[in-house]
Structure 1
């Protein structure tokens, strides 16, 4: 498989809904001790409330960015940065995420106003897609890292919400992202390999993917995961692009790879995670119609499949 040109890689990345952004994260401002005092006193600041992994939406195509006064005073806050675009708000507008408890969320909005980014990502502007992705990723980390791993004491939020500190020994805990590879595997006939996960309905198929293990390169992870899940051995992993996937904390790293003609292995699902595997030509994939459900358009999996196909595939 030939290496991709920078132009091809940029074009692929432009098609990833959650990789879009028009926000400067303004990391130096995180050092200010009075950051939230100043921001939350400014009516021009906009806050994105987050509750149980969902963001506050205005319909299906825009976030509901509220004024500071609309957010409970004791909500946990994270500074997201400043807008670099002029949309409905001027460039330079400061954005803050507010991680709400159940009680706080009920005081802010009704339950049907909280939206799932995975479902609505493709309809959002680049600014809103980037804000929601950043906000969900960092607030998911806050929700899952409440106590010190050393002392068990509640961690204190500092530096704009991007560092948590143990109050006893001052140990700092930083956000973590879990890298995962996802791979478009093709054979000598340029057929694409798709698998069905044990947790999905039987006719849902996607690319094979898995987390990168400690001490492992991305290329090694591609070869190991594909063999473990399918019995197929691949060579020549080619990087396509990446997309954050804050459900709850992944970074999906997209690859293409080809079956090793000298040692192809034997196609067989692992039976635990993957229960079915199928090779598809382009004509076979389209002819399958509703009998094969493909990944949603917010995912990098869909972008890789359509990159192989050569154009968008109608739902």
Structure 2
């Protein structure tokens, strides 16, 4: 594999066409709201991570210590700050997302995984940043991805004007901001049962049929969002008050902005938006 081909890696790093995304820990320094790719000679010292080689161009990320990068600290931002530009209608910008998510996911893992869980020894980056090997016992560590379910729970005759979708608001969100429900899968649990458990725990609504919809990597810090549609068996809502501050049933007219129930919903880059748009049957209005 290329990740262990030191000669090839050195050759690609020396090539002036190679592009490098510089990260200060887990943060980056955008230009006009977009990721900034530089040449290898322009990047600082840090952990070098191979992102891939496509159409003759090799891409790396360099994970540098925040104190070793140029510019003011406030110029380096989390990846969420780039979402407004990345969800624009320009298809060229959409191609940035996989590279960006790959880099951020590995940076989050490197930043949080400092010592060997077996012996407490120091870890050394190997395999072009995709493994961490203990300098004491030699045990390798691999990037961690936590499975999480995210679901569009509906009630009523499918496709009818009376059909409703269940959306919730987290306690930290401002009033009026809602999204589909989500939660992490527990050990020994099927994904379908995770959907049923999370909905029941957070809203008191019982769920029956569950169907797979799609998935999305979400390296914030290290999740794989597994999307589902689900049919509710009950209507009464009793929020837990911990994960959710409130939850309600919304009609298609509500999501189109045709009623007085003004709400803000995710847009563009999130699978939550895709779940809602699939149910709505059309693009969502501008969201957050």
Compute the TM-score of the two structures, normalised by the length of structure 1. Answer: 0.81
Aligned length in residues: 275
Tell me the distance in 1 between the aligned counterparts of 2:48 and 2:138. 20
Deviation at 1:302, TM superposition (A): 1.3
Tell me the distance in 2 between the aligned counterparts of 1:256 and 1:121. 26
Unaligned runs of 5+ in 1: 1-27, 84-90
Deviation at 1:35, TM superposition (A): 4.9
Matched residue, 2:35: 63
Deviation at 1:104, TM superposition (A): 2.1
SS in 2 for 1:283: helix
The counterpart of 1:241, out of the listed 214, 217, 222, is: 214
Matched residue, 1:253: 226
Matched residue, 2:248: 278
Tell me, yes or no, if structure 1 residue 75 matches structure 2 residue 46. Answer: yes
Tell me the distance in 1 between the aligned counterparts of 2:150 and 2:243. 15
Deviation at 1:266, TM superposition (A): 3.6
Deviation at 1:36, TM superposition (A): 4.2
User: Residues 68 and 289 of structure 1: is their aligned pair in 2 closer, same or farther, counting only changes over 3 Å?
Assistant: farther
Deviation at 1:288, TM superposition (A): 4.8
- Indicate if the aligned counterparts of 1:117 and 1:132 stay in contact, CA closer than 8 A: no
The counterpart of 1:152, out of the listed 112, 115, 120, is: 120
Tell me, yes or no, if structure 1 residue 112 matches structure 2 residue 112. Answer: no
The counterpart of 2:147, out of the listed 166, 179, 195, is: 179
- Indicate if the aligned counterparts of 2:26 and 2:111 stay in contact, CA closer than 8 A: no
Tell me the distance in 2 between the aligned counterparts of 1:110 and 1:148. 30
SS in 2 for 1:287: coil
Compute the TM-score of the two structures, normalised by the length of structure 2. Answer: 0.88
Tell me the distance in 1 between the aligned counterparts of 2:224 and 2:99. 16
User: Residues 79 and 215 of structure 1: is their aligned pair in 2 closer, same or farther, counting only changes over 3 Å?
Assistant: same
Tell me the distance in 2 between the aligned counterparts of 1:131 and 1:163. 18
Deviation at 1:110, TM superposition (A): 7.6
Deviation at 1:55, TM superposition (A): 3.1
Tell me the distance in 2 between the aligned counterparts of 1:64 and 1:273. 36
Cα offsets for 1:157-183 (capped at 9, x unmatched): 001110100011110000111111111
Matched residue, 1:23: none
Tell me, yes or no, if structure 1 residue 306 matches structure 2 residue 277. Answer: yes
SS in 2 for 1:148: coil
